[in-house]
Chain A
Amino acid sequence: MVKFLFIVAWRNFCRDKLTSFIQLTGLIIGIASFILIQLYVDHQKSYNTAFTDAKDIYRINLLRGENKPQAQTPLRLSRELRQNFSQVEDATRVSPANVSVKYLQSVYSERALYADPNYFEFFDFELLEGDINTALDAPDSLILHQDLAVKYFAGIAGVIGKRLTINGKEHQVTAVIKKPTTPTTMPLTMILPMVNYYAQFSNPEWIDAWNFNATRTFAKIPQKSAINTLTATISDYYDSRAKGLSSYKTNRINIQPLLDIYLDNTTTQSLTPPSSAVMVLIFSIISMMILVLACVNFTNLSTAAAMRRGKEVGVRKALGASKRQLISQYLAEAVMLSALASVFAVALVALCLPAFNQLMNVELLFDFSVSQALQLLALTLLVGILAGSYPAFYLSNLSPAHVLKGLVTTSKSGVWLRQSLIILQFAIAAFLLVASLVVNWQMQYIKNMEQGFDREGVIVISRGDNTYNAFKNQALRHPDVLSVTMSHTVPTKATRTSNTVRRLDDISNEIWVGNNPVSLDFFKTYGINLLSGRAFSNAYINDAYQENQTNWQSSTGKLMINQTLAATLGWSPEEAIGQLLTLGGGQDGLHNHQIIGVVEDSHYVNVKNIVPPMTYVLSAQPEDLSLRWTSIRFKARTSYKALKEIELIWLGLAPDLAFKYDWLSDLFDSSYRNETQQTELLNVFTLLAIVVTAIGLFGLAAFNTQRRVKEIAVRKILGASTGQLCFMLVNQFSILVVAANVIALPLAYLLMRDWLDNFIYRIDMPYSAFLLSAAFSLVIAYFTVMVIAYRAATAKPVDSLHCD
């Protein structure tokens, strides 16, 4: 019986090759897309799941004033949690920093994590070598991830005991971590003991300061129900200690599950740039949509082909087949086809995975494990049943008397269903089209909008404060170098936000400002335009900012501010020049400083954040106000050789400090990397959705045209031109496409409006996207049907008239 079933299914498949091919292709694309997106979604959701205690681990984030939650916390917080809160079983800290690694004759820059000795009790990575319990005990310990071990020692075996000089101090490898297969938000780099982190502080009091946030704190809280009360009590505890130390009015914390960290893009300062939960949800929905589209193709073409199979049903029924037997026969056929599609889809996924991984910058694996195989089996069954059930019930319900007379063709409900399904498909396609147009345009907009700084031709180097003056002198002699500066922060990175300023005549009104201590030539290097007044200069000895902590009022230094701050203070750029602003507050005394210049607004972090009111102060020497980034502006089209020459100057002055530079334009691009990737993914799958829809329409058009081939011949004999016939054939679908757009576009409008509202800097709702989508879907439909219509309209009528 099964064999018989299989034979009938196979013959049917072969009989109408075009329909079968389209059904199969649609299902293959649908299933392959679904598998790919699900792999990606699973990957996105699997961050940190490999850690044994992942469910009990939480990150403590600070909520200061109106700021977004931040992951940076005081260094003492973990100790306080362990000692004073019984529900906290344990706590650990992780602080990232760039370090210079000297090995053989070369200096490399690496990102390192400084961690507490109990790091592995939280994040139990598998070790290739070494002892997890003691690896971080000695102050000169060094733990390498697999890739780094390979990089420095060309292998992973026998690395224990080898030495590397890190920031001038010798360290000994105590363990090598195996590259995990499950993604994690803990950077896969080198791990150093936390004590070495302290050693870099210029002020040892920072270790115990409540207002010096320099580490990420993780806590183990086995009792889930305690989270709410703990949040309240820790917040109060923290607030009572941090209050008054800064200008923030409120100091709260939140307790965030480790498993939620990766998909939370609200909290700032995560160790790994976060992804977006919304995008992951959207992709899940898209994968469902494409699968539905493919199932619809199947259903649609199957019911259309019912005409052909109607006779078979009639004969079977007349021979005594029960309805149930017929249903199982047709369902089995659908499942067989979906199984065949699954096989091809798996091959397609395997083929596309490398490109997909490259596009999304992930390392997805499709290893066909037992669970993956089971899921695929379930998917195959689901698709088969979903796609095959309507045709099965439809066919088995046909009355044999009718079908044998050939009356299936006039079934109104069948036509109605097929048309509704076409509408559904085009609605989905139109919706995705609008969504991707809007998303693309918005991303283009924020990437191309005026940033307030010139990002071309600038490199940013981490640190260099000790040798800055000599370096600047020597670098400026290089013919390709236009200017050199140093600053506390640089565009694309976060600013300090804990400062306030006030107008002298409105002293009670605090205005929150970002602050960036800079050295000379900062504005010139970054191409930030001066609107009024002057920039910091050597010619004025009082420009440099200096706080006098014993007598606050005698603090000195001039201010430069940005346009937004001038406006916030109620001044035009010209009016602001010469005005005095009051700084300080909180623990510090108040002190006044004069504004000497107003510059154009420039974005820090990225344009997902609003431009804050900004103050700039001059740091006479880099170490005065802890300047951290050296920046160099080059002439246009500088050569790699010039960079090597600058590196030689750098290493000549600081042989232990790696010349680790990034182009500002790369930093800028990477701040949008997740968005860019996800936009591309959206584009790809929108395209696939359109393809699946189009081939479905192609199949249905072919079918409809075949049904009307005689009518076409008659019309032709009566004098219809090819153009008139094509128009007639194409036109029947345009009303469906228009209807689909009428349904999809309002929905798309609502969703895209909400999505755009999440952006501070956004495009106006682009109505042209809706027009384009409607026009494009019509064009797709016309083009698809036209291929069929033209062939039918140019066929010789005499051939069609005798095939009754």
Chain B
Amino acid sequence: MIKINNISRSFIGDEVETVAIDEMNLTINKGEFLSILGPSGCGKSTLLNVLGMLDSIDSGKFSFLDNPVDKFSEQQRAKLRKQHIGFIFQNFNLIDELTVEQNIELPLYYHNVAKAERKKLVDAVLKRVDISHRRKHLPAKLSGGQQQRVAIARAIVTEPDLILADEPTGNLDSKSSTQVMTLLQQLNQDGATIVMVTHAAEHVCYSSRVIELLDGKIINDHQVDGEVQSGNDEINGMAKGEKNQQTFAEVSCG
């Protein structure tokens, strides 16, 4: 689905140039649930923005569904983004003035979906994230977990091929986090490709693959094996690989 070869992205500040992504190679296949781990400033968010075509790259090749994105104009990228990608943010980024269902309806509106169809899709997705009873509320009246479920509903209502989640549980308590992660896992099981940036190592267990970044480079990349069982205190899924033993020593899923 996504292939990046030797891409680099750096930011030029007042005095120093910060290399956020350094000649990175990565392939993401359809149906994967990829977690990106790493300390602050390692380039996680930049990578996500690049994958979401919100940010451009300085060099390298980037192909998305066989489209040469690195050669695309801003407009072409916007079009591709609109058609195939849904976003979930740490701070939800719901529009305060719109109700829950209006927020969810917004991308459909921008996709020129007819009104009746919009209603049907919104209803379905509201059920799916289990927030139908709050549909008329403004975001400010919802808890953080509820807001994030609305944000997820908004991200998936257009049935995107790829969902990009930037620390989706970063602002949530543990109970809400679990709900959100379970929801994402379900979406993945239903066929969505998900790329998630996270600080919380325990959430890695929900994903199928994890990469770890440091200073704009991938230092670890491996499959996650094992079922995640909610509510289980025991480690019942452990990343397997040869080079990752110490890195994931403290990871516990559940």
Q: A719-B82, A796-B55 are in contact. Are A714 and B49 (CB under 8 A)?
A: no
Query: Is the pair A719, B93 in contact by a Cβ cutoff of 8 Å?
Result: no
Instruction: Judge if B87 is at the interface, Cβ distance under 8 Å.
Output: yes
Among A716, A717, A801, A802, max chain B CB count under 10 A is at A717
Query: Is the pair A804, B95 in contact by a Cβ cutoff of 8 Å?
Result: no
Inter-chain contacts of B78 with A (CB < 8 A): 716, 721
Instruction: Judge if B54 is at the interface, Cβ distance under 8 Å.
Output: yes
Q: Mark B135-157, 1 if CB is under 8 A from A, else 0.
A: 00000000000000000001000
Inter-chain contacts of B158 with A (CB < 8 A): 719
Inter-chain contacts of A715 with B (CB < 8 A): 95, 106, 110
Q: A796-B55, A798-B54, A801-B89 are in contact. Are A717 and B95 (CB under 8 A)?
A: no
Q: A718-B154, A724-B110, A798-B49 are in contact. Are A711 and B54 (CB under 8 A)?
A: no
Residues of B127-176 contacting chain A, CB below 8 A: 154, 158
Query: Is the pair A719, B54 in contact by a Cβ cutoff of 8 Å?
Result: no
Assembled-state Cα–Cα distance A719/B93 (Å): 14
Instruction: Judge if B111 is at the interface, Cβ distance under 8 Å.
Output: yes
Instruction: Judge if A720 is at the interface, Cβ distance under 8 Å.
Output: yes
Instruction: Judge if B107 is at the interface, Cβ distance under 8 Å.
Output: yes
Query: Is the pair A721, B55 in contact by a Cβ cutoff of 8 Å?
Result: no
Assembled-state Cα–Cα distance A710/B95 (Å): 9
Q: A714-B93, A714-B95, A801-B89 are in contact. Are A719 and B55 (CB under 8 A)?
A: no
Q: A718-B107, A718-B154 are in contact. Are A796 and B54 (CB under 8 A)?
A: yes
Interface size class of B (residues with CB under 8 A): 20 to 34
Assembled-state Cα–Cα distance A720/B87 (Å): 14
Query: Is the pair A720, B91 in contact by a Cβ cutoff of 8 Å?
Result: no
Interface size on A, residues (CB 8 A): 18
Inter-chain contacts of B110 with A (CB < 8 A): 715, 718-721, 724
Instruction: Judge if A797 is at the interface, Cβ distance under 8 Å.
Output: yes
Inter-chain contacts of B96 with A (CB < 8 A): 711
Q: In the complex, what's the smallest C-beta–C-beta distance from A718 to chain B, in angstroms? A: 4
Across the two chains, which residue of chain A brings its CB closest to B93? A714
Q: In the complex, what's the smallest C-beta–C-beta distance from A186 to chain B, in angstroms? A: 68
Query: Is the pair A718, B55 in contact by a Cβ cutoff of 8 Å?
Result: no
Inter-chain contacts of A714 with B (CB < 8 A): 93-95
Q: A710-B93, A798-B49 are in contact. Are A717 and B106 (CB under 8 A)?
A: no
Q: Mark A690-722, 1 if CB is under 8 A from B, else 0.
A: 000000000000000000001101111111110
Assembled-state Cα–Cα distance A720/B94 (Å): 15
Instruction: Judge if B81 is at the interface, Cβ distance under 8 Å.
Output: yes
Q: Mark A632-662, 1 if CB is under 8 A from B, else 0.
A: 0000000000000000000000000000000
Inter-chain contacts of A720 with B (CB < 8 A): 110
Inter-chain contacts of B94 with A (CB < 8 A): 714
Residues of B60-74 contacting chain A, CB below 8 A: none
Across the two chains, which residue of chain A brings its CB closest to B96? A711
Query: Is the pair A719, B107 in contact by a Cβ cutoff of 8 Å?
Result: yes
Inter-chain contacts of B154 with A (CB < 8 A): 718
Across the two chains, which residue of chain B brings its CB closest to A802? B45
Across the two chains, which residue of chain B brings its CB closest to A804? B91
Q: In the complex, what's the smallest C-beta–C-beta distance from A220 to chain B, in angstroms? A: 74
Residues of B158-200 contacting chain A, CB below 8 A: 158
Q: In the complex, what's the smallest C-beta–C-beta distance from A787 to chain B, in angstroms? A: 20
Instruction: Name 21 interchain pairs, CB-CB below 8 A, sorted by A.
Output: A710-B93, A711-B95, A711-B96, A713-B93, A714-B93, A715-B95, A715-B106, A716-B78, A717-B52, A717-B87, A718-B154, A719-B81, A719-B82, A719-B107, A719-B158, A721-B78, A721-B110, A797-B54, A798-B49, A798-B54, A798-B55
Q: A714-B95, A718-B107, A798-B55 are in contact. List 12 more A-B contacts (CB 8 A).
A: A713-B93, A714-B93, A715-B106, A715-B110, A717-B52, A717-B54, A719-B81, A721-B78, A724-B110, A797-B54, A798-B49, A802-B45
Question: Using a CB–CB distance below 8 Å, which chain B residues touch chain A?
Answer: 45, 49, 52, 54-55, 78, 81-82, 87, 89, 91, 93-96, 106-107, 110-111, 154, 158
| Shortest 9 CB-CB contacts between residues of A and residues of B | A719-B110, A719-B82, A798-B54, A718-B107, A714-B93, A720-B110, A798-B49, A798-B55, A711-B95
Question: Using a CB–CB distance below 8 Å, which chain A residues touch chain B?
Answer: 710-711, 713-721, 724, 796-798, 801-802, 804
